[in-house]
Amino acid sequence: MTDRKCAGCGEIKNREDLIKITRQHSGGIAINPDSKVFGRSVYLCYNKLCIENAFKKDKISKALKASVPAELKGKLINEF
């Protein structure tokens, strides 16, 4: 399939090996949506360090061009 870049570490990996976070056109943020959800997306490794790095440097907000709720970080770390 297609490769995507992790916002936390910068490694290029297969899309299926990454967490997908999408800002939907309605303004909501979805984690790992199916391919039917369209919007601006950012990808992260299934790795606590990558998740923390992406939030520390505000890379997720910049990539999605939207403010990201703080509870999203906790949700990502707990789920993955």
Task: CATH number of the domain at 35, please.
Answer: 3.30.1230.10
Whether 1 shows a pLDDT value over 70: the answer reads no
Whether 20 shows a pLDDT value over 80: the answer reads yes
Total number of domains in the chain: 1
Average pLDDT rounded to a whole number, residues 2-25: 92
Q: Quick one: pLDDT at residue 24? A: 86
- Closest by CA to 8, choosing from 77, 65, 57, 41, is 57
- Residue percentage of the chain with pLDDT more than 90: 50
